[in-house]
C-alpha cells in the first residue's frame, strides 16, 4: 500500500514541476517556413552523398515555397500521390536548381577536384583511364569543371516524374530523391571527367 502511494506522490510532483515550468501549455511545434533560408546538416560523411542530401533538403524547401505549402506537407503529398501535375514537377525542379544557386552563393559547394576520386571509384572506366584522370592537376579539373554546373546538369537530366512514380517507399521520399540526385551528380561528374582525357 505504501509503494503505490509513493509512486502517486512522485508522479504528482513531476507533473507539478512540469506545469510550473509551462508544461501545461503544450503547443505542437509549427512547421518551419519553407521560404525562410535555413541551415541543413547532411547525414552522410561522403562528400557527393552529403552534397546530394543538402541539395534535396534545400530543394524541397524551395519547391514547397513555390507551391505555398510546408516542406512536410509537400513530402507527405508527394509520397501519397500517384499523379504529379506539371506545376508540381516544375516547382520541384526549380527548387533543386534554386538550391544549387543558394549553395553556390553561400560557398557550400566544394571544387570538382574534391569530388573526382569519389566519382571515379564507381566509374566504369579501365584503370588506365582512371590513372590518367587522377594524374590531372586539381587546377586543371577545377578550371574545366564547375561543381554548380555539374549539379545543374544532374538536376536537369533527372526524370522527376518517373522517380516519384516509382518510389519504393513513400515514407522514405527524401532519401530516395537524395539517392537519385546523388547518382545523377556522380554520373554527370564521371562523364565530364572522362571528356578531360582524350582517347578514353
CA dihedral 71→75→76→82, nearest 10 degrees, is 140
Residue 36 forms part of a structural domain: no
CA atoms of 67 and 64, how far apart (whole Å):
5
Helix 147-157, helix 47-67: angle, nearest 10: 60
Indicate the number of domains in the chain. Answer: 1
User: Residue 179: CA atoms inside 13 Å, Cβ hemisphere, count?
Assistant: 10
pLDDT of residue 170: 65
pLDDT-flagged residues of the chain (< 70): 1-31, 43, 170, 199-200
pLDDT of residue 7: 38
Residue 159 forms part of a structural domain: yes
Cα dihedral sign, 113-121-177-72: negative
Enter the pTM of the model: 0.77
Please write down the HEC assignment for all residues of the chain: CHHHHHHHHHHHHHHHHHHHCCCCCCCCCCCCCCCCCCCCCCCCCCHHHHHHHHHHHHHHHHHHHHHCCCHHHHHHHHHHCCCCCHHHHHHHHHHHHHHHHHHHHCCCCCCCHHHHHHHHHCCCCCHHHHHHHHCCCHHHHHHHCCHHHHHHHHHHHCCHHHHHHCCCCHHHHHHHHHHHHHHHHHHHHHHHHHCCCCCC
Residue 107 forms part of a structural domain: yes
pLDDT of residue 30: 61
Q: How far is CA 118 from the centre of its chain?
A: 18
Residue 106 forms part of a structural domain: yes
Residue 104 forms part of a structural domain: yes
pLDDT of residue 1: 46
pLDDT of residue 13: 44
pLDDT of residue 176: 84
CA atoms of 168 and 163, how far apart (whole Å):
10
pLDDT of residue 178: 87
pLDDT of residue 66: 95
pLDDT of residue 69: 94
Residue 79 forms part of a structural domain: yes
Q: Which domain holds residue 85?
A: 47-111+147-189
Which single residue is written with the C-alpha cell 583511364? 129
Residue 157 forms part of a structural domain: yes
Residue 94 forms part of a structural domain: yes
Amino acid at each position: 500500500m505504501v509503494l503505490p502511494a509513493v509512486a502517486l506522490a512522485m508522479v504528482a510532483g513531476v507533473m507539478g514541476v512540469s506545469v510550473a515550468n509551462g508544461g501545461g501549455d503544450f503547443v505542437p511545434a509549427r512547421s518551419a517556413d519553407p521560404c525562410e533560408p535555413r541551415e541543413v546538416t547532411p547525414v552522410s560523411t561522403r562528400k557527393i552523398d552529403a552534397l546530394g542530401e543538402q541539395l534535396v533538403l534545400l530543394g524541397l524547401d524551395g519547391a514547397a515555397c513555390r507551391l505555398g505549402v510546408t516542406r512536410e506537407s509537400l513530402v507527405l503529398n508527394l509520397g501519397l500521390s500517384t499523379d504529379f501535375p506539371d506545376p508540381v514537377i516544375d516547382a520541384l525542379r526549380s527548387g533543386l536548381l534554386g538550391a544549387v544557386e543558394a549553395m553556390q552563393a553561400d560557398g557550400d559547394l566544394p571544387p570538382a577536384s574534391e569530388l573526382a576520386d569519389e566519382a571515379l571509384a564507381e566509374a566504369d572506366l579501365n584503370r588506365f583511364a582512371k590513372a590518367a584522370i587522377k594524374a590531372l592537376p586539381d587546377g586543371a579539373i577545377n578550371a574545366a569543371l564547375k561543381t554548380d554546373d555539374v549539379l545543374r546538369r544532374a538536376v536537369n537530366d533527372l526524370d522527376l516524374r518517373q522517380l516519384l512514380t516509382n518510389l519504393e517507399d513513400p515514407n522514405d521520399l527524401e532519401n530516395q530523391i537524395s539517392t537519385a540526385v546523388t547518382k545523377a551528380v556522380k554520373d554527370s561528374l564521371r562523364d565530364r571527367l572522362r571528356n578531360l582525357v582524350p582517347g578514353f
